[in-house]
Every structure is written in C-alpha cells, then in structure tokens.
Amino acid sequence: MRQEVYYQRGADDPIHSEEVVLDIVRQYLPGARALNYIDETGGEARMYAVDEDIILKVQRPHQLRMSTSLEKEAFFLMELEKQCNINVPRVHGYGRAGDIEYTCMSRINGAAFKNVELNPEERQVILYELAKVLRKIHGIDQSAIAECGLFPKDDPPDLVERLRLRAHSAIKSKAHISAEQGEVLFTKIEAELQKIKKAGPFVALHVNPAITHTFVDPLTRKYSGLIDFGDAYIGHPIFDFWRWPVLDREMLLKGYIAAEPVSEDFMLVYEAANNIDRITESL
C-alpha cells in the first residue's frame, strides 16, 4: 500500500498578488474583477476567492504528496460534470503559470458542515442527501479514470489492510490500553476482518466527504454541495463512509441505497468496518 510522503517540504510557499491571480483567472473568465479574500484553511492548496463565484485553487509546493493532485481533481470534476448531475465545483481551466499549478473553478455556495449549527433532524437529512451523491459518484463510468493514469489504485488486499491499520492506530494511541488488552482487541478486529470474503468493485472515491468538504446552505440548513476531490483514489466505496462516526453511517447507508440496493459483499464490508470502529470508538 502506498505511503503518504511529502516530497518537497523545503519548497517556498508564496502568497500570490491580486495581479497574478487575476491574470490567471482572466484567461478563462475575462470579466473577473477583484480578489475578495484568501482562504488558508486548506492543507495542500490555497484558495483565492475572486468576485462572488470564482475560486483559483493553487497547489502549495511544500505540500505535494503522492495522493494529492490538482490535475487529478480537475479531471475527476470534469468527468462528474459529463456523467452525472451533482453539485460540485465546475472547472473553468487547469494549468500552470510558471511555477504555479492551479485550477480555476466555480465556488460552491454555503458553508462547511462543521460551521453550521444543525439540529439532529437537519443533520440526518444532509447525510441522506450526501450519500445519494456519493452513490452517483461511485456509479459513473470508470473507464476514463482508469485509463488516465492520474489516480492511485488500491489492490484488493489493501481493503483489509486499511481497516486493520486504522484500528491498530486507534488502539495504540490510547495510553490506558495495556499490551494485554491491546492483544485482545487486535484478536477481535481480526475476527471481523475474516468476515470479508470479497472486495467487490473498486471505484474512484472522494476520500474525505465529511464535515470540512460537505457544504450546507446556512439559511435553509440543506445540503448544498461537495468540494475538494484532490485526494481521490480508486478503492472500495466504504472508504467514503469511514470519516463519519458509525451512528451517522446508518443514515448514509439509507441514502446510498435509496435508488438501488448494494451487493451482499458490500454489506459484509460495511458491517465489518462498523464493528471494528465500534470497538475503537468505545475506547
């Protein structure tokens, strides 16, 4: 399984001027007027908000790693635009200006899920709608994605190994868990992993469709879109669930199967992943 390595940590990370930003954006949108603000909350990229509805997403050079790619994200977003009707950023253009790698895209209205106060019912409805979107993403024709060479790909054994590593890491992070207790927990986890007989189809994943990337309209308290596909890879669909707690996944599953049921193999993976996370969430 590939390792996450940042391979040019010492690179400069300049904040670009309004003139530089607008020069790039106007290649695609000549009427662009002004840089409104700079969003520093992203990890691998910096966002320059232009006018009311334009984002220039720029790769931060010192944050380059194997799994993150603006080119890959732009390709994925364009495939989604071709194949399914969902609310994700629309790509106006991708390219390089000297040392600057960028994507010029539309802005998704709303605010990140984590920044909107929601009652339990509103939260459940948003999870349901998000899962319907995830099912559409997972259901697109994968041929262009498989052929483009931009997407890292898991092999079938990686499914079990990812679940194992996640659980072991959670257990080892708990200082109060003794070595003996840890071994008991590891044994329970292995028993759950043994229930997974087949991996099933692997598809292009968002990877982290959770509280920072799921957007909500603050006025209506309804789902408004999904952003940041830069970490996408080809893997098992369960990994677009696992950033959410187990209780939230119950509603995610309802939305995911609203239009079409899932296979028995999927459900075996879903139940095993949930049982493993119930072990670690209770520690």
Q: How do residues 220-265 score in pLDDT, each as one tens digit?
A: 999 999 999 999 999 999 999 999 999 999 999 999 999 999 999 9
CATH number 3.90.1200.10 is the correct assignment for the domain at 111-281: yes
Give the CATH architecture of domain 18-106.
Answer: 2-Layer Sandwich (3.30)
pLDDT in the model for residue 41: 80
Give the residue among 187, 172, 162, 173 at the shortest CA–CA distance from 243.
162
- Enumerate the domain spans of the chain: 18-106, 111-281
Which uninterrupted H or E stretch holds 47? strand 45-50
Opening angle at CA 248, ends 246 and 250, nearest 5: 80
Over pLDDT 70: what percentage of the chain? 94
Token pair belonging to 275: 């049982």
pLDDT truncated to tens, each residue of the chain (283 aa)? 666 665 566 668 899 999 999 999 999 999 999 999 999 887 789 999 999 999 999 998 656 666 789 999 999 999 999 999 999 999 999 999 999 999 999 999 999 999 999 999 999 999 999 999 999 999 999 999 999 999 999 999 999 999 999 999 999 999 999 999 999 999 999 999 999 988 889 999 999 999 999 999 999 999 999 999 999 999 999 999 999 999 999 999 999 999 999 999 999 999 999 999 999 998 8
CA torsion angle for 215, 235, 187, 177 (degrees, to 10)?
-40
| Same fold yes or no, 18-106 and 111-281 | no
CA distances to 27, 31, 45, 126 from 23, rounded to whole Å, are: 7, 11, 19, 38
